[in-house]
Each structure stands twice: as C-alpha cells, then as structure tokens.
Amino acid sequence: MKQRICYLYMEIRKTCKIIPRVILQAVLLMAVIGLLVVGGIGSMKRDPLAVSVDIAVAAGEDNIMTRMALGYVENMESVSHLCHFLQVTEEEGFRMLKKGQVAALILLPEQLVEGIMNGTNPQVTVYFPKNAGLETMLFGELTKAGEGLLRVAQAQIYGAGDTAVEYGLTESISQMEGEIDSYNLAFALDRLALFEAEQVSVFGALSIVHFYMASGIVFFLLLAGMALYPVVQREPAAFSLQMERQGAGIVWQCFCQWFCGLVCMGLLAAIAWAAFSTAVRCMPDSVARQLFPGQSGGAAIGLRIGTAALILITVTTFLYMLYSLAGSRTGGVLCIFLLSVVMVYLSGGLVPSLFLPEPVQAAGERLPTAYLIQAAGAFVTGREEMLGGQCLLRLCIYTAVSGAVACFMRCKVR
Amino acid sequence: MITVTDITSAYGRKQILRGVSFTAQRGECIGIVGANGCGKSTLLSVLAGTLKPSAGQVLYYGRKAWSDEETGRMRGDREVIRKMTGYVPQENPLIPELSVYDNLRLWYPDKRTLQQEMEQGFLHLLGIGEFHKKKVSKLSGGMKKRVSIGIAMAGMPPVLLMDEPSAALDLLCKEDIRRYLQVYLERKGTVVITTHEESELALCDKLYVMKDGRLRQVDSGLRGEALTDKL
C-alpha cells in the first residue's frame, strides 16, 4: 500500500511540475476560442428577427365602413405584429406584386361590409406572387385562419337567426347577433384568450445563450485535453513493470495518471470559469442576468458542483482513453481535435441538431457529447430538471467503458 | 542462492525458453551470453517476476518464487521476488520529468534510508549524490544507468538481475558499473547478468550460453572468437 501511495504522490509531483506548461497551452487555446466566440457574437449581433409582411389592399370603393374593417383587421393582435397594409389602387397593387414589393394583393369588392352584414358575402380576392416567399406563405396562413374565423362567426349568426325564426323569436335576432359578435370579438379574435402561448426552440429548454455556453464548455474541455498529454502519457514499459513488481499494478498506475489528469482538468476548468465570471462581472447587469439567471441557494450550488464533477470525470476518462488508443502525442492530439469537432457537431453543439439530417441526429443523440452538453446545460442554468436520470446513467456508462478500454489498451501495449 | 529448474516460457506458440536450469551461490556472478532474440531478456524477466513462466521452478534462498509443483498451475510469490531481487532492465525505469531524487523516492519510501544511502551507502558508491537534484531528462545515458542500478538496489536485495547494463555506454561508465558489481559481489550478493562486455564477463564465476531457448554452461574463461563460436 505504501508503494501505491508513493506512486500516486510521485505522479502528483510530476503533474505539479508539468502543470504550468499545460495551463499556458490551455490559456492560448482559450484565447483562440475566445477570439472566435467574440467574432461569432459580433457577426450575429443584429436586431431580433422581424418579419414585416407588406400587403397591398385595393378597395373597390373608399367608404368609411371598408376603412373601419381594414383598420380593425390591421390592429388585430395576431396581425399587427406581422402585416402592414398599404391602401393602393388595383393597377398599382398588381405592379407592386410583380416587382415583389408586396407579399399579396387583396382586392376588396364594393359593398364588402354591407354584404357581410346582410349575408350576400361578396368575394374577396387575394393574389399571391408565383414564387411565394416566406412572407407570402405566412400571410397565406393568416388568411386561411381569418377565413376560418369568419366562416365560424357567420355560421353562428345564421344558425342563431334560423333558430330564432323557427321558435318565433324574430324580434330577438338583432340582439342575439350583437351578442354573438361581442363573444367572437372577445374570444375568437383575441388569440391570447384562446391559445396557450408556447415557446418552441431548437435549443430545447435552454435559451440560445445557455445552449452555446453549455456546448462551449464541453468543446473547451475536450480541446483543452490536447494539452493534457504530458500528464497522462504512458510511462516507459520498464518503469511500469518495475512498479508492478513493487505491487502497484497497471490498474493502479492507470488510476493515478487518470486522477492527475482529472486534477489538471479541474484546475483548467476552474481557471477558465474564473476568467469567464470575471468577464461577466464587467458586463452590464442585463447581460450578466441573461447569462446567470439567478438560480442560487444550496441546491443549485450543490447541483452545479456535482454536475461539474461528473462532466470533468467523463471528459478526463474519455481523453485518457483516446490517448491510450492513439499511443502517441501526435496521434492523441489529432484524434482529440477531430473527434471533438465531429462529435460536438453531430450532437448539435455547433448547429442545433434539428437542422441536421435525421440519421445524423439519431447518431448524435447517442454520443457522449450530447449528454455532456445536457449536463453542462444543467451546470449553467442550475436547473435540476435539465439533468435527467438517463443522462446521468449514460455518462456513468461512458465513463466506465472509457476507463476499461484505456486500462485494456495500456495493459496490451505494455 | 538461486535455483532455477526446468523453466519454460512461450510467447503465444513460440517457445522462448526450453527447460532452462542453473544454480548460483551467494557472492557468485552468473553471466549469460547469446545472440539477439535468443531469450536472455525473457529469462531475466521470469527471474524478476515480470513474466510468468509456463513451467518450472525458481527458488531464491530456498523460497519459492515461481513454482508449479503443488497445484500443477504456475504460481508466483511476488513478495519473495520483490524482497530477494533487484532488477536492472535494458530500458531505464525512470520518470524523465522528475529529478533523480524524486525517482529514487519512489523506490526508497523511507526518506532517512535514502539519505543514508546517498551519503554513505550504495548510492554514494554509484555517485548519485552528486547529481541527485538533476532532472532525469537532463542526464547522460551512464548517469541514468547508475540511477537504474540504484533503484534496483533499494532494500539491498541479495540477488541482482542485470539485463545488458553496459549497452550503449561509454568506456568510463562501463568501468564504473564493473566496479560497483565487484563491490556488490564482495558483499556476498548474487548477480545474474546478460552481457556482451568482456569486462563484465571477467567478473563471472559461471558463464552460460543461451541458444534456441536452452542454456549451456561453458568455460568462464572463454573470450573472443572462441566464445562467439559457441553462440
């Protein structure tokens, strides 16, 4: 046992001597990644996505009722964010449609409002351009929705009217129509009252900032592993055998090296996190709050520490396995770089996996990086639900398998 | 005292050692010569406990190091091997990033013993005290070999196994190593050495030639062509 402890102590001493070099390399790496991130953020910095659909409206007559109806539709909650109606003449409307200046042209017939009121329903014609773009498609959908609403509203009015006539309540028809109108206006046309707002994001439950923070952490840790070689490199075979003679077997030797690698990675991660936190403190409060939404308290801190430990253990074991498989510094570094990029990409860490082909998505979901990003998400947000039991189990399995493969390779090569 | 009886060893289907037997008394030096790949290092690995033989028996001072007598299966007693033998492999078992002192600390867990050894013991004799603060990666081949011998001498084992200790060293180093061996033998240690060096062969009380995995004793005074003819 004394020999084993002594070996662990020596490995730690060796790591302490190497660590300044490892940190220097990692700092350089951080600087490069930082520059890339700053460049990326700069190029992405623009106003939030604003879709404005210009619609040309040509009214057959310019009466107050038509203008009121148009104004009402334009100010509707669901339309006002998206559509901008331009009152034009019919010729002007067609010209604008041809030039692609508007997404659609609506031709309103004469006596439109009166027709709706008296049930003759004059036809409204909507022209879309041939090669419809996103705006046109959007307006098309809105039109369909509006048409559906109108159809239901008219059915209600006619149904109520017919029923009233059948039961001899003709004097109540106008009152009933008024009430139906007010209900429609209060509920059917107010989308917020009818539909539950649900935010759907390609980043899942994470915000875009947190998602890229999570994938950035995983990517950084994997790439930082390129500097880890001196710590986890194979000792000379003669040394390994001599140690085994002394009672410190190959598994113990692997454990000691892995442990030193873990300490090293932990230190690197702590330095990187400290640097990041310092940078965040220098940012405006609104940005800082966006990055760290304020999950605090013992549970969140405990979760963060636990998740960080899990991520570090998994990443270190994975890196140790790669170095053991590669057998040399060049091979290991190349292997880590290529695998990190490919795996993070396949797991949707660079481009959200929803935008990737389905087979790639399916493959990416099974990679350890997918679960590492998920765990890093829990670390960043401090939200427990981000780290599911399956994620935890998978990471433990990946760690165990990587460790076993690394030990096997070291035994085999020796 | 070493008693090696009918040791056989194989790598897969290839038989490396075929019934190797010899004995060595206290204070005796056994030299083993042979062409490259004849099995010298394999024999030393078996004696050092880093390779399990297929059959046979190895006794150190009457204590079983390797034996298949009782169960029919080869069993090794690592404790006996570790206490009884010091092993100097061809490759130096050193961590290049650490200093000589740190490397020695691995094998001399007791700090005081190490200090004593460096001041007046065998390590002093090896001259390690002069460069113990140096990083191993900065040492010459001869210095590294001295440290390797120093490591093998940790705990002063009665048997020293040396696998071509003078290979690729300059004349001065070879002479130094020869002198250390002489001192060790004078202190009644037993040495098993594989070598091609005549200066080291001069120390040998018994000389064996290994050929095709078999060990054959020859006249310890054989040198030059006469010895080469036997290989």
The answer to whether residue A85 scores a pLDDT higher than 70 is yes
Helix (H), strand (E) at residue A332? helix A329-346
What's residue A258's pLDDT?
A: 93
Q: How many percent of chain B have pLDDT more than 70?
A: 96
Q: Which residue has the tokens 């140790």?
A: A320
Q: In this predicted structure, what is the pLDDT of residue B222? A: 66
Q: How buried is residue A180: exposed, middle or buried, by Cβ count under 10 Å (0-12/13-18/19+)?
A: middle
Q: Do B89 and A238 touch (CB under 8 A)?
A: yes
pLDDT level of residue A365 (50, 70, 90 thresholds):
confident
Residues of chain A with C-beta less than 8 angstroms from the C-beta of B94: 236, 239
| Residue with the two structure tokens 């027709």 | A115
- H-assigned helices in A233-297: 237-245, 250-281, 285-291
- Of A28-37, A329-338, B212-221, give the range with the top mean pLDDT: A329-338
Per-residue pLDDT tens over the stretch B148-192: 999 988 888 999 999 988 877 778 788 888 888 888 888 888 999
Q: How far apart, in whole angstroms, are the C-alpha atoms of residue B151 and residue B70?
A: 33
pLDDT at res. B227: 67
Q: Please state which of the ranges A8-12, A129-133, B118-122 shows the lowest mean pLDDT.
A: A129-133
Most confident segment among A56-60, A346-350, B41-45, B152-156: B41-45
For the domain A53-194, what is the CATH code?
3.40.1710
> Cβ distance A15 to A260 under 8 Å?
yes
Across chain A, mean pLDDT equals 81
Say what percent of chain A tops pLDDT 70. Answer: 83
Q: Is the pLDDT of residue A312 over 90?
A: yes
Mean pLDDT of chain B: 86
**What architecture (CATH level 2) is domain B25-49+82-230?**
3-Layer(aba) Sandwich (3.40)
Lowest mean pLDDT among A44-48, A400-404, B110-114: A44-48
- Assess whether pLDDT exceeds 70 at residue A301: yes
What is the rounded average pLDDT of the residues A51-60?
A: 78
Please provide residue B31's backbone torsions phi and psi, each rounded to the nearest 5 degrees: -100, 135
Given a cut of 60, whether residue A294 has pLDDT beyond it is no
| Amino acid residing at A395 | L
C-alpha span between B76 and B49 (Å, rounded): 8
List the beta bridge partners of residue A119.
none
Three-state DSSP state, B223: coil
Q: B-chain residues within 8 Å CB-CB of A230?
A: 97
Task: Suggest the residue from A5, A14, A18, A239 to mutate for an interface test with chain B (most B CBs closer than 10 A).
Answer: A239
Number of H helices, E strands in chain B: 9, 11
Q: Which residue of B has its CA nearest to A13?
A: B98
Listed by number, the residues of chain B in 39-78 with a beta carbon closer than 8 Å to a beta carbon of chain A are: 45, 48-50, 78
Q: Which of A24, A13, A25 is nearest to A259 (CA)?
A: A13
CA angle A367, A372, A374 (to 5 degrees): 105
Beta strand pairing call for B85-88 and B159-163: parallel
Q: Give the three-class secondary structure for A53.
A: strand
Q: What pLDDT is stored for residue B192 in this prediction? A: 92
The residue written with tokens 């006002």 in the block is A80
Question: Regarding beta strands A104-108 and B214-218, do their DSSP bridges make them parallel or antiparallel, or are they unpaired?
Answer: unpaired
Instruction: Compute the distance between CA of residue A237 and CA of residue A224 in angstroms, rounded to an integer.
Output: 27
Restricting to A residues 61-120, those with a Cβ less than 8 Å away from any Cβ of B are none
CB contact under 8 A, B93 and A236: yes
d(CA B163, CA B161): 7
* Residue among A230, A238, A243 minimizing CB distance to B92: A238
Look at the pTM and tell me if it is higher than 0.80.
no
Does residue A174 register a pLDDT over 90? no
Instruction: Tell me the pairing of strands B14-24 and B2-11.
Output: antiparallel
Tell me what the mean pLDDT of segment A236-248 comes to.
85
- Does B90 contact A14 at a Cβ distance shorter than 8 Å? no
Note the pLDDT of residue A311: 94
Identity at B153, one-letter amino acid code: M
Helix axes B171-186, B141-152, angle to 10 degrees: 20
Chain B residue with Cα closest to A9: B106
Reading the block at residue B158, the tokens are: 């009665």
Per-domain boundaries in chain B: 25-49+82-230
What confidence tens digit (pLDDT) does each residue in A327-336 have? 888 899 899 9
- A230 touching B (Cβ < 8 Å): yes
Give residue A315's pLDDT: 94
pLDDT at B204 over 70: yes
> ∠ CA(A200), CA(A276), CA(A40), 5° rounding?
55
Instruction: Give the mean model confidence (pLDDT) for residues B58-85.
Output: 86
List all residues of chain A from 245 to 264 with a beta carbon under 8 Å from chain B.
Answer: 245-247
